[in-house]
């Protein structure tokens, strides 16, 4: 059963949890905060422009994508 597992042996959910907790504790000082907020802004802009995607959904998708790329480059 390899669902949610990184081929290198790390657990994706646990890595995401550690990253989010680190961002919550360190705030803007954390190295992942600015890229994730940038992804959120880009996703929100895409949600504002595209008629199918809403603004909050675009922001959530953008932030989620950037967070994933920070954990699994």
pLDDT in tens, 36-69: 999 999 999 999 998 888 999 999 999 999 999 9
User: Can you give the pTM of this predicted structure?
Assistant: 0.77
Structure tokens at 28: 């803007």
Q: Where are the domains of the chain?
A: 12-71
DSSP 64: H
Torsion angles phi and psi, residue 53, rounded to 5: -100, 135
- The CA–CA distances, whole Å, from 7 to 22, 38, 68 equal 23, 28, 15
DSSP 31: T
């Amino acid at each position: 059963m390899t669902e949610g597992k990184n081929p290198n042996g790390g657990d994706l959910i646990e890595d995401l949890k550690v990253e989010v907790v680190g961002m919550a504790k360190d705030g803007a000082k954390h190295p992942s905060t600015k890229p994730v907020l940038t992804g959120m802004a880009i996703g929100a802009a895409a949600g504002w422009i595209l008629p199918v995607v809403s603004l909050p959904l675009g922001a959530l998708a953008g932030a989620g994508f950037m967070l994933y790329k920070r954990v699994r480059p």
